[in-house]
Amino acid sequence: MGKLAIVQVPPVFLDRAKTLELAIGQIEEAVSQGAELVIFPEAYIPGYPAWAWRLRPGGDWGQCEALHGRLLEQSVDLQRGDLKPLCEAARRHRVTVLCGIDERASDLSRATLFNSYLVIGPDGEVMNHHRKVMPTNPERMVWGFGDGTGLNVVDTPCGRVGTLICWENYMPLARYALYAQGVELYVAPTYDSGDDWIGTLRHIAREAGCWVVGSGNLLRGRDLQVDVADASTIYPDAEEWVNPGDSVVIAPGGAVVAGPMRREAGILYAEVDTAKVGLARRTLDVVGHYARPDIFQLKVNRQPQSPVDFS
């Protein structure tokens, strides 16, 4: 048994330092309630670029460029140590932290952003670093493509954890790559929400026979105000629910055991029992006794990809 905490609190939009400070406070609160695993949403630091879904990259060039410039400035450079405060908080509290970031690559051009998700161990070290392999629709004007190096499952106090970001969870082969590594706690940080999305997560819980966590972005118009490019005109209604969050915990087999936490800020807690995973896979184990490797096989390329080879 292990206790997890899903933080559903808006970031301080496009402010890396203040969002880190907020996240550390949420970790402290979760740990005080006995959490061993603390989960944050997709692109939490310094915030999800929601404007991509409202502005036209060509028609609204000035606003898009100004907002992207601020995101680039406030994004996380791992080599520079921008995430050190969060790692130190994980080490100080001996807790595993999962968090989404807008990551600025520190190699090659040093200007490309990635939608990345990290698993930080209780020793403060990064256990897994995954970059979203396929940004969705207008997100491709914000983030570059990741590769397969982060398609890993790692051991944590709440079981073997694997993560896919938002619509990566609609990619059957990406899911299967995690299933094949014995994932017990499948974490899906996302900008998606609603009953259809929750239905997808329930399907994954049935298909994989594992625990599934949906970590949602909670955003109102007032949470997306920033002092660049007339941003207030993009979300003129401060009370508009841009994203209701819908964080949720689903047991092996598909039963919802916590949440969905809708239009509410706070921390969603749940106890997870990994023993239920083996029982759920007794009748259906898609990478075990229910697989047919004589007919179907998946090949995963985990090699880092680069447009240049200095040899």
Number of domains in the chain: 1
Tell whether 163 is covered by a domain.
yes
pLDDT in tens, 209-228: 999 999 999 999 999 999 88
Whether 158 is catalytic: no
pTM flag (> 0.85): yes
Q: Given 36, 42, 103, 184, which residue is catalytic?
A: 42
| Res 58 pLDDT > 80 | no
Whether 42 is catalytic: yes
Q: Domain residues for 243?
A: 2-280
Tell whether 287 is covered by a domain.
no
Q: Given 36, 103, 132, 168, which residue is catalytic?
A: 132
Tell whether 102 is covered by a domain.
yes
pLDDT for res 202: 98
Tell whether 306 is covered by a domain.
no
Contact 98, 44 (CB under 8 A): no
Tell whether 296 is covered by a domain.
no
The tally of CA atoms less than 13 A away on the side-chain side of residue 157 is 19
Tell whether 307 is covered by a domain.
no
The phi and psi torsions of 245 (rounded to 5 degrees) equal: 90, -85
Q: Given 36, 166, 184, 210, which residue is catalytic?
A: 166
Burial of 100 (0-12, 13-18, 19+ CB in 10 A): buried
Tell whether 239 is covered by a domain.
yes
Categorize the per-residue pLDDT at 156 as very low, low, confident or very high, splitting at 50, 70 and 90.
Answer: very high
* 188: nearest Cα among 223, 159, 217: 217
Tell whether 301 is covered by a domain.
no
Q: What CATH number is associated with residue 209?
A: 3.60.110.10
